[in-house]
Amino acid sequence: MALAQLNRRGLLRAGAIALLSGCDFTDRKGTQRLLRTVSHVNDHAQAALFRADVRAPLFPDSALTQPFRFNAFYTEASVPEIDVARWQLQVGGRVHERAPWSLQAIKALPAITESTRLVCIEGWSAIGQWTGVPLGLFLKHIGADTRARYVGFRCADNYYTSIDMASALHPQTQLAWGFAGAGELPEPFGFPLRLRIPTKLGFKNAKHLMELFVTDDFPGGYWEDLQGYNWFAGL
């Protein structure tokens, strides 16, 4: 309720700005400026309400979605093929240890398994079981500067996204390498490694990760830059 009220206030504020500035909704550039203003207000409102100790709901095995739904900006036939023997996760930005990580090394870190709901901005949701290392623990291993504002991700399918540091350190945010009890991810769901963050909408859960970086410079995101989606995208 509080988030909805804040978002409504943001919308009213943006509308007032538009009226005071004489924004014409037939003017594409003016409309885009208005929508960007609303989006930024929503981002700030959601960030203000975020709490590291508030967890997304967990579900029993009986609630798992069968089959789990594929989603991407391309068809399932276009899922990238990755040679895991040659694959490495590159790390960079404000970190002490820049050496790339193999999947075997990532799997050697302590992992968590949780069944959580993925909520798509298109209006559907699915419950899946994910196994992986908490992102906060991984950031600790690479000596990340957790005073930095953002963690960004780049993917094998040319997708990219970023999250705020507080969300990166949330205990349920993970670099997932397993699905539904299996020791690896199915290719359509992000093989060999994906970001799983149940406190945010599905488009923030980047698949087929190739690079992770820590930065103070705003990295943006694929859908945010292309379609103006809200960047924070918190639930």
**pLDDT tens readout for residues 95-111:** 999 999 999 999 999 99
Phi-psi region of 186 (alpha: psi -120 to 50; beta: other; left: phi over 0): beta
pLDDT band at residue 5 under the 50/70/90 scheme: very low
Dihedral angle computed from the Cα positions of residues 85, 86, 87 and 92, in that order, rounded to the nearest 10 degrees: 140
* Interval 213-230: pLDDT, tens: 999 999 999 999 999 999
> Are the beta carbons of 172 and 166 closer than 8 angstroms?
no
CA-to-CA separations, 45 to 4, 31, 39, 48, in angstroms, rounded: 9, 21, 10, 5
> Are the beta carbons of 167 and 176 closer than 8 angstroms?
no
Inter-axis angle of helices 2-20 and 28-49, nearest 10: 150
Q: How far apart are CA 81 and CA 64, in angstroms?
A: 26
Residue type, 92: G
Q: Is the pLDDT of residue 123 over 90?
A: yes
Q: Is the pLDDT of residue 50 over 60?
A: no
* Interval 168-223: pLDDT, tens: 999 999 999 999 999 999 999 999 999 999 999 999 999 999 999 999 999 999 99
Answer with the residue of higher pLDDT: 29 or 151: 151
Residue type, 19: L
Res 53: pLDDT: 78
In the chain, % of residues over pLDDT 70: 77
Res 108: pLDDT: 98
In the chain, % of residues over pLDDT 90: 76
DSSP code of residue 94: S
Q: Is the pLDDT of residue 134 over 50?
A: yes
Averaged over 62-69, what is the pLDDT? 97
Residue 20 parent element (H or E) = helix 2-20
Q: For 10-25, give one letter per residue: b (16+ CB within 10 A) or e.
A: beeebeeebeeeebee
Least confident piece of the model among 44-48, 59-63, 70-74: 44-48
Dig out the tokens for 58 from the structure: 């967990």
Averaged over 69-83, what is the pLDDT? 96
Q: Is the pLDDT of residue 17 over 70?
A: no
- 114: closest CA among 49, 170, 51, 155? 170
Q: For 151-185, give one letter per residue: b (16+ CB within 10 A) or e.
A: bbbbbbbebbbbbbbebbbbebbbbbbbbbeeebb
